[in-house]
Amino acid sequence: MKHSWSEKTRQPNGDSRKICTREGCEIVCVSCHRIDDHGRQDHFREWWRGSEKIQIGGNTPVCEVVEVPA
């Protein structure tokens, strides 16, 4: 199942962030833009659920209902 992404929002540090609006999934995709030690642009994605970082880079995690402990 495909994620139902919200509008992207721009963070003050230049990252952009979107959230899956499907109830129970609500995964957050953060597109990170960094300058590495050699002055090169670095671009990668982080995936979050709540305050937990579940993945860095790679393929988009599947859209699924996940029980998040309160």
- Name the residues that contact Zn ion, by CB under 5 A: 3, 20, 22, 25, 63
H-type helices in the chain, by residue range?
none
Residue (25 or 47) nearer to Zn ion, CB: 25
C-beta of 70: minimal distance to Zn ion in Å?
20
CA dist., res. 45 & res. 12, Å (int): 16
C-beta of 39: minimal distance to Zn ion in Å?
36
Beta bridge partners, 48, equal: 28, 53
C-beta of 63: minimal distance to Zn ion in Å?
3
